Amino acid sequence: MCVLIYGIQWLTGNALTQAWTYYPPWTVAEPWRMMTSTFLHSPNTILHLLFNMYSLFIFGPVLESLIGRVRFLVLYLVSGFAGSVAVLLLAPGIAVVGASGAIFGLLSAYFVITRHLGRGQTQVFIVIALNLVIGFVIPNVAWQAHLGGLIAGVAVAMVYVSTRRRAQRTVQILGVGGIVLALVALTVIGVVLMPVPG
């Protein structure tokens, strides 16, 4: 979807980019941008898309095989949403696009789940650490979205690993639902506390 949408961004002369980019002051009027922006990538450089898709290609299939398609999709979407919430709370004056928040959520979830299963996590730990450093060092990178996705990924993964049995399915759904409600509450708080322009 990210690759397809990136093509549409170019075909529409970046009209889609402008329509889906997330800018915190627009949260109340157009809240869907908190999600749509996570499927966009910078039209200024294809490296943004390639780097995120490479990470998804390396860790995505393995993680999906561990938790299943539905849980994987939920994890991806919740982490992407959390990335936007973090931008709202920590950097309400910047506009953002990209799947980085969602990708960081997948990486941190992979770390938690494989650790729970007793597998080595050196590779993913290095990738997470390097990406966090890059986010703080390279300009125009929304490290806030990375951080938000990272935290959400850990939270969702903790719910997953503690409710693995079929009999715990309802508890698992309620647990993830609670995380989403917390993110919605933080969104409301962020909107209320947002500085009024000039």
Could you give the residue numbers annotated as active site? 100, 146
The closest of 142, 154, 62 to 108, measured between CA atoms, is 154
CA dihedral 48, 35, 174, 121 (to 10 degrees): 0
3-state helix vs strand vs coil in the chain, percent to 5: 75, 0, 25
Q: Residues 18, 190: contact at Cβ < 8 Å? A: no
Phi-psi region of 98 (alpha: psi -120 to 50; beta: other; left: phi over 0): left
Find where tokens 């919605």 sit. Answer: 184
DSSP secondary structure letter of residue 109: H
